Amino acid sequence: MSRKNKSLPRIIYVIELDVAVADVPRFAFENPDYVAGLPCYYVGSSTMSAAERFWLHKKGHRTASAIAHQFGKTLRLDLSPQQIPIRRQEALEMEVLVAHKLRARGCGAWQK
């Protein structure tokens, strides 16, 4: 990512993952309190629209998360904070907060 992109405002997005992701060791390690059968999610931020970013994950673009690429099912804007662009640092903090809230409900969440 260029310096220019790092300074652009970002939005937060949530992707619902196939629950099979719960069997991936690194996902399981990050979600020790996951309740089997509950949904699993990927939380990210981007300078693009949530739909564009989801498409890049599913396409397997070089910037895509392997978890979102392999297990991504659908974009969940209903679980995303309001789609108002925020500064990069705020977005990174919001990603952690959203993932934490999902985990607190027993769901699995991947945020890196």
Return phi, psi of residue 37, to 5°. Answer: 95, -20
pLDDT above 70: percentage of residues in the chain:
95
Only one residue has tokens 């619902």, namely 16
Neighbours of 34 (CB within 10 A): 19
Whether residue 35 has pLDDT greater than 90? yes
User: Is the separation of the CB atoms in 43 and 12 below 8 Å?
Assistant: yes
User: Is the separation of the CB atoms in 70 and 64 below 8 Å?
Assistant: no
Tens digits of residue pLDDT in 85-95: 999 999 999 99
Average pLDDT, integer, range 59-74: 95
Q: Tell which residue, 60, 54, 56, has the closest CA to residue 41.
A: 54
